[in-house]
Amino acid sequence: MDILNALTAFANFILVPGLAYGSQLALGALGVTLVFGVLRFSNFAHGDTMAFGTAFVIMFTWWFQSMGISFGPLPTALLALPFGIAVTAAFVLGTDRVVYRFYRQQKAKPIILVIVSTGVMFVMNGLVRILIGTSERNFADGERMLLNPQDWKAWTGLAEPLAIKTTAVVSIVVAVLSVALLFWFLQKTRTGKSMRAYSDNEDLALLSGINPDKVVAVTWVLAAALATICGTLYGLDKSFRITVYFGLLMPIFAAAIVGGLGSPLGAIVGGFVIAFSELIITSAWKKIGSYLLPDSWLGDGLYQALSTDYKVAVSFAILIIVLLFKPTGIYGAK
């Protein structure tokens, strides 16, 4: 019984939130890694692309709600997602046309593009502030809990509650579907193959007749879609606030770099590594310990390695360690 209680506490406070948060980070890191692989620069505007996409998803959600359209027990935002992606993709393509294309034709160095993307980030950030404001927006509807903590206690008779939010499951399922679709696209379709070829060797790809404009456009559309999906899932599961999305850039880049920039598989692994590290290091282990260890072994402490205020510091520390000892990341080759 004690072991079951300990397992339940672990699942409730670490496993379930970690899986949901990890899938969200993985989707974000995929977008970053895709842009890095094909366009060869770190897109600092990715966090605000997420916010931009989510803002439109929220507005479409409100519109649907006002018309009485709902998705049953699932969040209405999932219905609004394709529309949000379309607007974001159009905006990102426009940005590429107006801003990035110029620097690509100049053959600008990656660092210049990074700085340019920082400029784009500020513009997008301002736009989102104008569009939807700086305060918190909650747009999750439908059934809130898939597994109610009280129900769990009643069914199992355990002392520990286990809660599973609908949005956590939606996050995981949508992330798995998106990743499967993306990998199928990259591996099996002609456009996907040309993207990988362009990423591996630009000159050779151009020689073999691959249309660079198409590759760039498809990459941006994919990045916009991943950013919007990631932002929407995060907003559904937690809440939407522009400053928070800006701050998400840190763990997302950490995830992409840990996995190896340019490697889609690495981005997914990196996302979960970062998510679980943050949770495991800032979690207080007293409760789980109290079920597994004799009382006399436990003191008054909470057995918490770092206060939760330092959550961001965890991804930062992992980022630095990886950059110091294995700069190419887990799956990176380049």
- Indicate the SS3 state at residue 164: strand
**Residue (10 or 198) nearer to another protein, CB:** 10
Close Cβ partners of 189 (under 8 Å, ≥ 6 residues apart) = none
Backbone angles phi, psi at 240, to 5 degrees: -95, 130
Q: Which is nearer to another protein, 149 or 192 (CB)?
A: 149
Name the nearest CA neighbour of 254 among 193, 319, 301: 319
Of residues 225 and 279, the one with the C-beta less far from another protein: 279
Closest CB 242 distance from another protein, rounded Å: 10
SS3 label, residue 2: helix
Number of residues written out for the chain: 334
Nearer to another protein, 185 or 310 (CB): 310
Q: Which is nearer to another protein, 6 or 195 (CB)?
A: 6
Q: Which is nearer to another protein, 13 or 253 (CB)?
A: 13
Q: Are 304 and 288 in contact (CB under 8 A)?
A: no
Q: Write down the least CB distance from residue 307 to another protein, Å.
A: 7
Q: How far is the CB of 62 from another protein (least distance, A)?
A: 17
Distances (CA, A) of 262 to 38, 140, 252, 253, 293: 8, 33, 13, 12, 44
Q: Which is nearer to another protein, 189 or 307 (CB)?
A: 307
In the complex, minimum distance from the CB of residue 139 to another protein, in angstroms, rounded to a whole number = 13
CA-based diameter of the chain, in Å? 72
- Cα–Cα dist 83/56, whole Å: 8
Shortest spacing between CB 122 and another protein, in angstroms = 19
CB of 239 to another protein, least distance (A): 5
Backbone φ/ψ region at 75: left (φ over 0), alpha (ψ -120 to 50), beta: beta
Question: What is the smallest separation between the CB atom of 13 and another protein, expressed in angstroms?
Answer: 4
Q: Least Å distance between CB 228 and another protein?
A: 17
Nearer Cβ to another protein, position 28 or 332? 28
Mapping DSSP onto H, E and C, the string for 115-162 reads HHHHHHHHHHHHHHHHHHCCCCECCCCCCCEEECHHHHHHHHCCCCCC
Binding positions for another protein, rule: CB under 8 A: 12-14, 17, 21, 135-136, 138, 144-145, 148-150, 152-153, 161-163, 165, 234-235, 237-241, 243-244, 278-279, 282-288, 302-304, 307-309, 311
Query: Can you read off the two tokens belonging to residue 302?
Result: 């909470």
38: phi > 0 → left, psi -120 to 50 → alpha, else beta; which? alpha
C-alpha–C-alpha distance, residues 21 and 278, integer Å: 10
**Closest CB to another protein among 203 and 300?**
300
Question: Least distance from C-beta 282 to another protein, angstroms?
Answer: 5
